[in-house]
Amino acid sequence: MTESISKTVHAKRIGPTLAPDCSRVLIRPFYPTSDDIAQRIILRVMALSDDQVSRLLLGVLGEFEDRHEQVERLLFHRFTQLRHYLGDAPEPSPQRQLLIGAYFTHEYSFESAALFNPSIVPHPDQTKLPAGALRFILSLRATGEGHISSITFREGAVSAQHRITLKQPVPFVTEPERVPNALYEKPLFARKLQEAKLQNDFSRRVLAQLQESFTLDDLRCVLAAVERRHTGPSDTADDGSARGILLLAESNYEVLFAPVSQVSQRVLFPSAPSQSNGIEDARFVQFQNDNGSFTYYATYTAYDGKITLPQLLETQDFFDFKFITLNGPAVQNKGMALFPRKINGRYAMLSRQDDENILLMYSDNIHFWQEPKLLLLPAQPWEFVKIGTCGSPIETEGGWLVLTHGVGPMRKYCLGAFLLDIKDPSRVLGRLREPLLSPNETEREGYVPNVVYTCGALLHGRELIIPYAMSDYATSFATVSLDEILGAME
């Protein structure tokens, strides 16, 4: 008997490479370790003479104005957050307000440690391009001091010949503003409370006082009113319910970047309690709605320093972003990847709840996920430890093409792929026996050695464009022929 010869295909590295740049800095709030210290700092600034305030402020602005846009506006906004420490004291002069703001502000180099785990989607704007070219938006996980991760973006294009060009990032970076009057829909919020096991007498009393659409301020007012009307002894369960309701609301929010900002300026930095230590591994997908329009979704991992939770981002234009909690018993672990359209009228998602295998699940509502079913187990030695998805499935004439990562000996990460039936993704049509991409000698060293990883690829014509991270440090690009990868499936 002759042994069958397996087909192999390897992605071709084409570059360019994106390395972390510590000169790209955000201006962020600085928090002293206690209120007492904060009050003492403010008292010291208040005791300065007007001449001292002028000289100190002049020095601050001279040193930092060319590193950020609208420094004075940011410092004044920071002062407004501290105004309560002054109590009934007279309003300080504008210069003193700015100086107080400066003492409670610092720079944060958000990508000083790593710039990795990219995903890639078509840009909403495809105008003014050469024939056969495609403009894209690249999202990246940026990691800075304290291993805090955020999402940053780059803009680029792939030519008809599959060459990658990246637009030079602008020097100033910015965070978005919270949308102050973003609306919550009561039926959806009530279902999220139920899935989070927060539906009880207290929450029902709160919901009964809310309109069908309400804001976060509305919710805070109702919570305070319900608690005031409680005349009995303090109820620990009610206190816990109030905190849980508020935490859920604060974790579902909307942010908006300035309309004049460019793609590479925009940084989504953690701002909700559930993501306080990181927004990790966003997997963007251009999702086709039932009416033919497109919405960009991204599954990501929220990390609060102890617990990781898969969550969802939604945007139409990469200016306005909605952060959405995912709910249900299937919302756990990492690696969720949304299909780019509904399958048989339902949302579909790949996942890895057991930290070992790839699972498939469906839902009638993108917010709620219930019953994952086993789809694929590790099969080859390079993936014996575990396998997971590397971004959303890509629709081809041969089936749903899914990139994977496999973990093998010495915790080495390689990229692979498998193929699912278009109409019934629970049917596995084939998979690669050998890795599509493995870390070479120039990619082995980094924050986490011996890793190649991606959060999403892009099909351009008959070529698969794969942005990939090298050892959790930097990012580069590779390509592979779609025909070759489909032909190598077993």
| Number of helices (H), then strands (E), in the chain | 9, 29
Residue type, 99: L
pLDDT recorded at residue 365: 97
**CA–CA dist 452, 466 (Å, integer):** 11
Return the biggest CA–CA distance within the chain.
94
Peptide bond into 16 cis (omega under 30): yes
Least Cα distance to 13 among 467, 482, 368, 367 occurs for 467
Look at residue 5 in the predicted model and tell me its pLDDT.
52
Report yes or no: 248 and 7 within 8 Å, Cβ to Cβ. Answer: no
pLDDT tens, position by position, 9-61 = 999 999 999 999 999 999 999 999 999 999 999 999 999 999 999 999 999 99
- Please check whether residue 265 is in contact with residue 24, taking contact to mean a CB–CB distance below 8 angstroms: no
CB 177 within 8 A of CB 309: no
Please give the pLDDT value at position 233.
Answer: 52
Reply yes or no: is the peptide bond before residue 187 cis, omega within 30 of 0.
Answer: no
pLDDT value, residue 430: 97
Output the pLDDT for position 4: 46
The third-level CATH classification (topology) of the domain covering 12-20+110-176+257-487 is: Tachylectin-2; Chain A (2.115.10)
Instruction: Identify the CA nearest to 184 among candidates 206, 215, 223.
Output: 215
Q: Give exposure, 41-58, as e/b (b: 16+ Cβ within 10 Å).
A: bbeebeeeeeeebeebbe
Point out the residues of the chain with pLDDT beneath 70: 1-6, 230-237
Phi, psi of 376 (to 5 degrees): -145, 135
Residues 6+ apart with CB under 8 A from 342: 290, 348
pLDDT in tens, 376-401: 999 999 999 999 999 999 999 999 99
pLDDT of residue 231: 53
Unique residue bearing structure tokens 């305070």: 224
Q: Going along 247-307, which residue ranges are E strands?
A: 253-256, 267-268, 278-288, 294-303
Query: Which pLDDT score, from 0 to 100, does residue 114 have?
Result: 97
- Rounded distance between C-alpha atoms, residue 165 and residue 188, angstroms: 42
AA identity, residue 181 = N
CA-closest candidate to residue 404, choices 90, 250, 394, 395 = 394
Q: Which residue has the tokens 């080495």?
A: 412
Q: What are the structural domain ranges in the chain?
A: 12-20+110-176+257-487, 26-108, 184-251
This prediction has a pTM of 0.94
Per-residue model confidence (pLDDT) at position 131: 97
The dihedral built from the CA positions of residue 299, 304, 305 and 308, taken in this order, carries a sign that is negative
Long-range contacts, stretch 80-83, CB < 8 angstroms, 24+ apart: 81/29, 82/38, 82/42
Q: What angle do CA 279, 258, 31 make, to 5 degrees?
A: 50
